[in-house]
Amino acid sequence: MSIPFSVLDLAPILKDGTAADAFHRSLDLARHAERLGYHRFWLAEHHSMKGIASAATSVVIAHVAAGTSTIRVGSGGIMLPNHSPLIIAEQFGTLASLFPGRIDLGLGRAPGSDRATMRALRRDHEGGANTFPQDVIELQSYFRPPTDDQKVQAVPGAGLDVPIWLLGSSLFSAHLAAALGLPYAFAYHFAPELLLEALRIYRSEFQPSAALSNPNVMVGVNLFAADTVDEARRLFTSLQQQFLNLRRGAPGQFPPPVDSMDTIWAPWEKPGVDQALSGAIVGDPETIRRGLDALIAKTQPDEILATASIFDHAARLRSFEIVAEVRDRIFG
């Protein structure tokens, strides 16, 4: 049985580039993914990051959905501690009204920023990660048909079918998604060590709900594909540099690839970056096929969420094209 493949995009701002350029490339990638049969196109919320343009995530979702026709578009995810549930219900109710049947709402528990930025985003300091379960439940309530005595309503939003996903890079959201009977996406692309335990918890504890009768698992994975192994590895150095800069506390615009990382990272920095990105599948079509076969056999996912931050736009389009070709070979 085949499984859908989807795309996660961070709308990277390239070195010496602009956010406007990033939005243009994101839309072009979404159109490319739609033609190739990808199921969803998700954008991630990050703030105060010079290399990521998708901070106003719902606005970028509208931009992408307006420029495509059939692919589902959503958040991977909205960092709910940064927002009141009502605001998100209104935003995604608006999106679902504009693009019916095509909008997903993926929710994360992390702030997607540092503490200073988090305080600037939500100054009352109420809620946050500690009230994430209550905030998810409140958000769900705004999408239900309103009752006569309901004083606060999401308009638009009430009565609309906006699928909610919980995203996780630890075990917390695995427990919560299971308890609430919601679909679950794990961020294997930057948190590989907890993948199997998170999926085990989610599947074993899952409680059927009005939203979902059986567990539904999506696995996010870095897939860097090129026509040769050497070229794919070279493209991957941009992401390695980005992770290295984050660990150094100096995030910047997305860097171009290099021939070798050995002159960029210190020997003691390499293991940390390698560990964070150890789930990445990087190589030519045959390498991608073997890696996906192994990942699917290991995790039995219901969906694959492919991500690939690649500096050269044409190479990025080609990478997703190769992955689609491999997908069709595996499930053809």
Each residue of 147-181: pLDDT tens digit? 888 899 989 999 998 999 999 999 999 999 999 99
Query: For residue 42, what are the β-bridge partners?
Result: 8, 74
Q: What is the DSSP letter of 254?
A: B
User: Is residue 122 very low, low, confident or very high in pLDDT (cuts 50, 70, 90)?
Assistant: low
> Taking the CA of residue 330 as centre, how many other CA atoms within 13 Å lie in the half-sphere pointing to its CB?
25
- Looking at residue 317, its pLDDT comes to 98
The Cα angle at residue 292 between residues 291 and 296, in degrees rounded to 5: 125
Q: In terms of C-beta density within 10 A (0-12 exposed, 13-18 middle, 19 or more buried), how is residue 276 classed?
A: buried
3-state secondary structure labels for all residues of 50-70: CCECCCCHHHHHHHHHHCCCC
Alpha helices in 132-266 (DSSP H): 132-142, 172-180, 195-205, 229-247
Classify the phi-psi angles of 122: left when phi > 0, otherwise alpha if psi is within -120 to 50, otherwise beta: beta
Mean pLDDT across the chain, nearest whole number? 94
User: Is residue 106 very low, low, confident or very high in pLDDT (cuts 50, 70, 90)?
Assistant: very high
Q: How far apart are alpha carbons 237 and 243 in whole angstroms? A: 10
**Average pLDDT of 45-72?**
95
- Looking at residue 129, its pLDDT comes to 63
Query: In this predicted model, what pLDDT tens digit does every residue of 192-228 receive, in sequence order?
Result: 999 999 999 999 999 999 999 999 999 999 999 999 9
Query: In this predicted model, what pLDDT tens digit does every residue of 236-282 receive, in sequence order?
Result: 999 999 999 999 999 899 999 999 999 999 999 999 999 999 999 99
Report residue 7: phi and psi, to 5°: -125, 135
Query: In this predicted model, what pLDDT tens digit does every residue of 35-57 receive, in sequence order?
Result: 999 999 999 999 888 999 999 99
- Looking at residue 290, its pLDDT comes to 98
- Looking at residue 36, its pLDDT comes to 98
Report residue 285: phi and psi, to 5°: -55, -40
Q: Which part of the chain has CATH 3.20.20.30? A: 1-162
pLDDT at 83 over 60: yes
Given a contact cutoff of 8 angstroms between Cβ atoms, the answer to whether 28 and 313 are in contact is yes
User: Is residue 127 very low, low, confident or very high in pLDDT (cuts 50, 70, 90)?
Assistant: low
- Looking at residue 147, its pLDDT comes to 87
Q: In terms of C-beta density within 10 A (0-12 exposed, 13-18 middle, 19 or more buried), how is residue 56 classed?
A: middle
End-to-end Cα separation, the chain, in angstroms: 9
The Cα angle at residue 244 between residues 323 and 288, in degrees rounded to 5: 15
121: Cβ contacts below 8 Å, ≥ 6 apart: 47, 82, 83, 111, 113
Per-residue tokens: 250: 């100096």
Q: How far apart are alpha carbons 308 and 34 in whole angstroms? A: 16
- Looking at residue 308, its pLDDT comes to 98
Given a contact cutoff of 8 angstroms between Cβ atoms, the answer to whether 142 and 157 are in contact is yes
Helix, strand, or coil (residue 164): strand
Helix (H) or strand (E) holding 224: strand 217-225
pLDDT at 112 over 80: no
User: Is residue 124 very low, low, confident or very high in pLDDT (cuts 50, 70, 90)?
Assistant: low
Q: How far apart are alpha carbons 176 and 155 in whole angstroms? A: 27
User: Is residue 330 very low, low, confident or very high in pLDDT (cuts 50, 70, 90)?
Assistant: very high
Domain 1-162: CATH class, spelled out: alpha beta
Task: Give the global pTM.
Answer: 0.95
